[in-house]
Homo-oligomer: A and B are copies of this chain.
Amino acid sequence: MTPDTTGYLGILGGMGPLAGAAFALRLAALTPAAIDQQHIPTLLRNDPRIPDRSDARMRGGEDPLPYMVEGLRFLHAAGARVIAIPCNTAHLWYDQLCAATPLPILHIIDAVAQDLRRLGLAHGRIGLMGTPATLALGLYQTRLERHGYQCIVPDADEIERYCVAPIRAVKAGDLPAAVEPAMQGVRLLRARGADAVVLGCTELPLAIPHAQRAALGVLLTDSIDALARAAIDYWRQTPEHRQAA
């Protein structure tokens, strides 16, 4: 007997690897399930060899697109039915990625917009934290403004101190060094009038532990959890994925 185990949620991970694994973990943690067999079958390709997305966009570094396209092909051939990419900056290549695969790709910024509505915020001022590439190229601004939000963006120095520094610390596995600068970034955006702050790089939710978030006194939306919730919703609304379960 060969069991039928096709039909996966495919995760194009590794950008970074801690964020890819944290997404898989939050996906399992947020899925309503009483036993193993009710969870979503998931395939995480956590490949950290994909060239740095910010380097490519900001400093002419190696193009990550061929690596990401190869990852999508791999996941498609392996039986993925839908793709989640737990890396905000990678969504700068979203259109090219969609063109390279017949599979639907969940969009992380749409997931965040959906999460803001889940938190009760249908409009308002959204403070953005993310990589310089994500923020400079307007990835969030364009899409959130289309959803009716206004964006508050830190300046280049602030991005360096409150976003890049904690992102780099998380990528190096030094979570304690990431906490304080990331929290300061949230406080800064709250002080500028943000109704909510987006942790718009998948390393940033790892910098601010869930237990410390309430004390920040502002709504936070976490791009890892937002994408996980979107993936769970998509999976439940698309029952043909579950036929092999």
Contacts and interface: CB of A to CB of B under 8 A. Distances in A.
Interface of A: 1-3, 5, 8, 14-18, 20-22, 24-25, 27-52, 66-67, 70-71, 74, 78, 171-173, 175, 244-245
Contact of A43 (B30, B40, B46): B46
Given A17-B36, A36-B48, 17 more contacts: A3-B70, A5-B67, A15-B36, A16-B36, A17-B28, A17-B40, A18-B29, A21-B25, A21-B42, A21-B44, A22-B25, A29-B175, A33-B48, A37-B49, A42-B46, A43-B44, A43-B45
A16 B42 CA distance: 12
A70 B39 CA distance: 19
B71 A5 contact: yes
17 contacts: A2-B66, A5-B74, A16-B39, A17-B36, A18-B29, A21-B27, A22-B25, A24-B24, A24-B44, A32-B173, A33-B172, A35-B172, A37-B48, A37-B51, A37-B52, A39-B46, A41-B47
Nearest to A23: B21
Contacts of A245: 49
Contacts of A43: 43-46
A149 B155 CA distance: 59
Q: Which 9 A-B pairs have the closest CB atoms?
A: A21-B24, A21-B25, A39-B48, A44-B44, A42-B46, A17-B39, A36-B48, A17-B28, A18-B28
A45 to B, nearest CB: 6
A2 to B, nearest CB: 6
A62 to B, nearest CB: 10
